Structure 1
Amino acid sequence: MKCYNPTLSGTMPIGINVTGSDLDIIMEIYDLNCFEKELCSLYQNERDFLIKRTKIRGKNVVKANFLYGGFEFEVFGQDEAVDKQYAYIHMKTEHELLQRYPQLTEQVKSLKDLGIKTEPAFCQLLNIEGDPYEALIYYGKKQGLIL
């Protein structure tokens, strides 16, 4: 799996994880069939293993979820460099927002404890309208947080 440029993304690397947060591993994959077989070979015997192929924003992806070592994992692969994937861009934007507005850390975690997903929580707190997954990236670019 090393050749896929695995990168931990999401809430844990930026310190806004709450009880039940999963470990999001994103990867750069150009042979989805091979990747899917490898995931099945490595993790199909783990608790709650589920794998699916789908399209997200027009790109084919493979996503696997399972429990391992007391953590919930989501392993996500698509044919795009990790630093160009939405999960990475969201994390980078959120990290920059937390640096700029440290008070957001506990506010976001409180909303997450209520079951609100990360991107919608940031959008709610910053009064960003629209699809939170698109709007947060647009906001980050507009604020000069990301290129």
Structure 2
Amino acid sequence: MLKNLEYLKSGNKKQRKAFKVINQLNIIEDLKIYSPILCGTIPLRIDTASSDLDIIMEVHDFSDFRNKINFLYGSCSQFKLKQKIIRSKSIVKANFIYDNFQFELFGQAQAVTQQYAYLHMVIEKYLLDTNPSWQCEIIALKEQGFKTEQAFCHMLELTGDPFEALIDYGQKEEII
């Protein structure tokens, strides 16, 4: 389900709108050489009003990627492009607004199915499928200011860095 955006067409109102906007921009097709995957809260139906569309990609040539992103989306509202280091890995991140959606394009020299955003989403989907009542509780925590990973760690009573704790939990429980 998570790798193919078709599920968004029959989702809630925000998911259907996200599907339309992603297709209008032609992001998946234009960036297909980077294996783009939509991650985050919108695919899981735990989004809030401020949730963005996170698209992660496998990128090895950051210069070409930056140029392509700038060419394709540089004219979008509030466009920002930066390269930095996260967890000892170089990344390129672009943010912009299109048709009232905030986009975050994230490129890292790692297979998308091994990136934290994807792994977190797999774990979170498993937890929501296993505990359907958590959906409302996670949204409530997010509306109180919790980040998504923090909210799930709170529900699981996990401590420490929520990004690492969720990965450790997923590995221990053999979810990922």
How far, CA to CA, are the matches of 2:171 and 2:136 in structure 1? Answer: 24
| Aligned residue in 1 for 2:62 | 32
* Separation of aligned partners in 2, 1:114 and 1:47: 28
1-side partners of 2:175 and 2:56: how far apart?
21
Structure 1 counterpart of 2:75: 45
Alignment partners' CA distance in 2, 1:80 and 1:145: 20
Specify which of 148, 157, 161 is matched with residue 127 of structure 1. Answer: 157
Q: Deviations over 1:1-56 (max 9, x none)?
A: 11111110011111111111000000011101100111111111111111110011
CA deviations on 1:105-126 (whole Å, 9 max, x unpaired) are: 1100001112211000111121
Divergent runs of 4+, >3 A:
none
Q: Where does the alignment leave 5 or more consecutive residues of structure 1 unmatched? A: none
- The sequence identity of aligned pairs, in percent, is 48
Separation in structure 2 between the aligned mates of residue 36 and residue 114 of structure 1, nearest angstrom = 35
- The amino acid of 2:47's aligned partner reads N
One of 89, 92, 96 as aligned partner of 2:122: 92
Q: Matches of 1:89 and 1:13 in 2, distance apart?
A: 14
* TM-score (normalizing by structure 1): 0.96
Unaligned runs of 5+ in 2: 1-30
1:97-116 aligned at under 5 Å gives the runs 97-116=127-146
User: Following the alignment from structure 1 to structure 2, what is the Cα–Cα distance between the partners of residues 20 and 131?
Assistant: 23
CA distance in 1, matches of 2:132, 2:173: 16
- Report the TM-score, using the length of structure 2 for normalisation: 0.81
Matched residue count: 146
Secondary structure in structure 2 of the residue aligned to 1:102: coil
Distance 2:114 2:174 in 1: 16
Superposed CA RMSD: 0.8
Which of 43, 46, 62 is residue 92 of structure 2 equivalent to? 62
- How far off is 1:144 after superposition? 2.0
Aligned partner of 2:160: which letter?
A: G
Shift of 1:136: 0.5
Higher relative contact order (CA 8 A, sep 6+): 1
- Output one character per residue of 1:44-78: Cα deviation in whole Å (capped at 9) or x when no partner: 11111111100111111000000001100000001
